[in-house]
Structure 1
Amino acid sequence: MNPSTSTASLLQTLAPIADPVVRLADGALLDYLLIELVPTLADSSSVASARATHTENEMRAAGLLPARSAKDKDKEASDKEEDALRARLEAVGAHVGANLAERLSRDRARFADTLDIIKFICKDVWQAVWAKQIDNLRTNHRGVYVLQDNNFRPLSRISSHEGPQEAARRAKLYVAWSTGLIRGALARMGLQGTVIPEIPSLPQCTFQIKLPKGAS
């Protein structure tokens, strides 16, 4: 047996293991996931909020907390519930963003600076998740970056029979996952900052990234 022939045959046999087949998923699956993720976590957050409210009511009844009007109680409970939901959605998005950024940057050369990392998110990450790149990127070169998507896919079908204001309010919850995605990708690249979404008009959306001094 020719040793070289045997080695070549063996390498051909092992090639599929060393270079696995790329598996793709239909983009509609992500759309459906985000549509269902918000109400599902909203129900879960509602249960947690109800438990917290019950505990607070017992403490007020015992005189451990000041009394509140029914209107104030309802508003406070609603705000807490929405904040808890937004935090959970961002946490899920951050987990996905961190893992996705690591996978997409695995075979790339080391990023030269912070701007290269931001561009990587605008191009590679956005393309992988929403099949397009960011429409506009602005920066003041002092740690603030603004990413603008003129037709942000998660907001493209949002509407409400209660009017545009209610639709815009609901839209804020549907960008929480994406906000976390950006924050998670930045964290995996070694950047800790805040990401603030803004919705000028549906379906346009901007994400303002603020990084600490020295990171830019």
Structure 2
Amino acid sequence: MRRYGPAALLLLTGAAVLRITLFGDLYLRYVQAGLRPYLIVSGAALVLLGLITPVLKSHPHHPHHGSRTAWLLTLPALALLLFPPPALGSYSAAREAAQRAARGVGTFPALPAGDPLDLTVAEFSSRAVYDSGRSLKGRTVRLTGFVTRDDDGTWYVTRLVVSCCAADATTGKAEIRGADADAPPTDTWVTVTGTWRPEGAPGSDEAWPPVLDAEKVTRVQQPADPYEKP
């Protein structure tokens, strides 16, 4: 039976990949939407290899060397198949916030007319901190993200920005002030409507994180794609 360990590992891993890509949006917790076709091909290839491996190993010219290790390696694959982990949340945001790269101050393109203005958290953060033209001044904006908080009770609407996959995630966030109600629990998804409060000179340490004076905070469901694109 030991010779079936590698085959079981391939089958379970391939099935897990196909499950999160073919039957829902779970793959968006790990990679960008454009990588879905590659995941499907990879999952199908793993399943195919898993099916033919026992046949190859039973051939007289292909001696088998089964290993107990292969059976142990099936456990992570089985866990991914049955219990996919959640999207990155407040822990990842706190860890990555310290790695925020410095950017140059400059002007940004004009914003469309009409309030409230729906912005990504990353776009709001960039304009609030680095826009020398102060294009957010006087505008009502609407941001959607999950709740993070400091030990002193300060809370933020936060979003992780992913270029390729979850491993390269960086953080955008806005400090929320003035909401009538207490902040929802950490990792709760919310939509916050409010106005930007300028603090510090553009690009300065005082300007980060940007502040939003909230008029309304609404709990929402986590979106199918929890990450923003740069």
Give yes or no for TM over 0.5.
no
Greater percentage in helix: 1
Greater percentage in strand: 2
TM-score (norm 1): 0.25
Q: Pick 1 or 2: higher relative contact order, CA cutoff 8 A, min separation 6.
A: 1
